[in-house]
Amino acid sequence: MKFQKAAVLAFLATLTSLAMAGEIKPFSQQEFNALTRSGKAVVLDITAPWCPTCKEQKPILERLMKLPAYKDVTLMTIDFDSQKETLRKFKVTMQSTLVAFKGDREVGRSVGDTTPSGLEGLVKKTVN
Protein backbone atom coordinates (compact mmCIF):
# COMPACT_ATOMS: atom_id res chain seq x y z
CA MET A 1 0.00 0.00 0.00
CA LYS A 2 2.84 2.39 0.84
CA PHE A 3 4.46 1.67 -2.54
CA GLN A 4 1.22 2.47 -4.40
CA LYS A 5 0.80 5.73 -2.53
CA ALA A 6 4.41 6.72 -3.29
CA ALA A 7 3.94 5.83 -6.96
CA VAL A 8 0.75 7.89 -7.18
CA LEU A 9 2.45 10.86 -5.51
CA ALA A 10 5.43 10.61 -7.86
CA PHE A 11 3.08 10.45 -10.85
CA LEU A 12 1.15 13.51 -9.68
CA ALA A 13 4.39 15.43 -9.11
CA THR A 14 5.46 14.58 -12.66
CA LEU A 15 2.13 15.77 -14.07
CA THR A 16 2.36 18.99 -12.07
CA SER A 17 5.88 19.69 -13.29
CA LEU A 18 4.84 19.02 -16.89
CA ALA A 19 1.96 21.45 -16.56
CA MET A 20 4.42 24.02 -15.27
CA ALA A 21 6.96 23.54 -18.07
CA GLY A 22 7.45 25.42 -21.30
CA GLU A 23 7.29 23.43 -24.51
CA ILE A 24 10.30 22.45 -26.61
CA LYS A 25 9.44 21.50 -30.17
CA PRO A 26 10.76 21.61 -33.73
CA PHE A 27 10.12 24.83 -35.64
CA SER A 28 6.98 25.08 -37.72
CA GLN A 29 6.24 28.33 -39.54
CA GLN A 30 2.50 27.87 -39.08
CA GLU A 31 2.79 27.28 -35.35
CA PHE A 32 5.30 30.14 -34.94
CA ASN A 33 2.86 32.47 -36.72
CA ALA A 34 -0.07 31.33 -34.58
CA LEU A 35 1.88 31.70 -31.32
CA THR A 36 3.33 35.12 -32.11
CA ARG A 37 0.05 36.48 -33.52
CA SER A 38 -1.67 35.54 -30.27
CA GLY A 39 0.99 37.36 -28.22
CA LYS A 40 2.76 34.26 -26.92
CA ALA A 41 6.44 34.02 -25.95
CA VAL A 42 8.67 32.12 -28.38
CA VAL A 43 12.41 31.50 -28.39
CA LEU A 44 14.02 30.16 -31.56
CA ASP A 45 16.99 27.89 -30.92
CA ILE A 46 19.21 27.56 -34.01
CA THR A 47 21.26 24.45 -33.45
CA ALA A 48 23.44 21.88 -35.19
CA PRO A 49 24.27 18.37 -33.97
CA TRP A 50 28.00 18.95 -34.57
CA CYS A 51 28.12 22.28 -32.69
CA PRO A 52 29.89 22.13 -29.28
CA THR A 53 28.38 25.46 -28.19
CA CYS A 54 24.89 24.19 -29.00
CA LYS A 55 25.59 21.10 -26.90
CA GLU A 56 26.49 23.35 -23.96
CA GLN A 57 23.35 25.44 -24.42
CA LYS A 58 20.93 22.51 -24.65
CA PRO A 59 20.86 21.34 -20.99
CA ILE A 60 20.67 24.94 -19.76
CA LEU A 61 17.71 25.67 -22.02
CA GLU A 62 16.02 22.42 -21.02
CA ARG A 63 16.38 23.33 -17.32
CA LEU A 64 15.03 26.84 -17.94
CA MET A 65 12.01 25.52 -19.79
CA LYS A 66 11.11 23.40 -16.74
CA LEU A 67 10.90 26.46 -14.48
CA PRO A 68 7.38 27.67 -13.66
CA ALA A 69 8.35 31.22 -14.67
CA TYR A 70 8.71 30.04 -18.28
CA LYS A 71 5.72 27.70 -18.50
CA ASP A 72 4.16 29.90 -21.20
CA VAL A 73 7.32 30.04 -23.35
CA THR A 74 7.69 27.83 -26.42
CA LEU A 75 11.25 26.96 -27.44
CA MET A 76 11.34 26.06 -31.13
CA THR A 77 14.43 24.35 -32.52
CA ILE A 78 15.70 25.11 -36.02
CA ASP A 79 18.33 22.88 -37.64
CA PHE A 80 21.18 25.03 -38.92
CA ASP A 81 22.14 22.58 -41.66
CA SER A 82 18.74 21.77 -43.17
CA GLN A 83 16.52 24.83 -42.63
CA LYS A 84 18.46 27.51 -44.54
CA GLU A 85 15.36 29.33 -45.81
CA THR A 86 14.11 29.76 -42.25
CA LEU A 87 17.55 31.05 -41.19
CA ARG A 88 17.42 33.68 -43.95
CA LYS A 89 13.95 34.76 -42.87
CA PHE A 90 15.21 35.44 -39.34
CA LYS A 91 18.58 36.83 -40.51
CA VAL A 92 20.57 34.14 -38.72
CA THR A 93 24.07 33.30 -39.97
CA MET A 94 25.43 31.11 -37.16
CA GLN A 95 24.39 28.07 -35.19
CA SER A 96 24.08 28.55 -31.42
CA THR A 97 21.88 31.59 -32.07
CA LEU A 98 18.80 32.24 -29.98
CA VAL A 99 16.11 34.71 -31.05
CA ALA A 100 13.46 35.72 -28.51
CA PHE A 101 9.97 36.98 -29.37
CA LYS A 102 7.25 38.47 -27.24
CA GLY A 103 4.29 38.23 -29.52
CA ASP A 104 5.33 39.24 -33.02
CA ARG A 105 8.13 41.53 -31.78
CA GLU A 106 11.75 40.39 -31.48
CA VAL A 107 12.92 41.30 -27.98
CA GLY A 108 16.39 39.80 -27.91
CA ARG A 109 19.07 37.82 -29.69
CA SER A 110 22.09 35.88 -28.50
CA VAL A 111 24.92 34.14 -30.35
CA GLY A 112 27.18 31.62 -28.65
CA ASP A 113 26.23 32.42 -25.05
CA THR A 114 26.61 29.39 -22.77
CA THR A 115 26.12 31.06 -19.40
CA PRO A 116 22.99 30.13 -17.47
CA SER A 117 22.43 33.77 -16.48
CA GLY A 118 22.82 35.01 -20.06
CA LEU A 119 20.43 32.42 -21.49
CA GLU A 120 17.90 33.02 -18.74
CA GLY A 121 18.14 36.77 -19.28
CA LEU A 122 17.18 36.25 -22.92
CA VAL A 123 14.26 33.93 -22.13
CA LYS A 124 13.10 36.32 -19.39
CA LYS A 125 12.71 39.11 -21.96
CA THR A 126 9.85 37.16 -23.53
CA VAL A 127 7.74 37.13 -20.38
CA ASN A 128 8.42 40.53 -18.80
Is pLDDT above 50 for 12?
no
Q: What is the pTM of this model?
A: 0.83
User: What pLDDT was estimated at residue 21?
Assistant: 82
- pLDDT interval class at 19 (50, 70, 90): low
Is pLDDT above 70 for 26?
yes
Max CA separation in the chain (angstroms): 58
Q: What is the pLDDT averaged over residues 101-120?
A: 97
More confident: 10 or 85: 85
Domain 2-124 has CATH 3.40.30.10: yes
- Residue of 84, 24, 75 lying closest to 48 (CA atoms): 84
User: What pLDDT was estimated at residue 75?
Assistant: 98
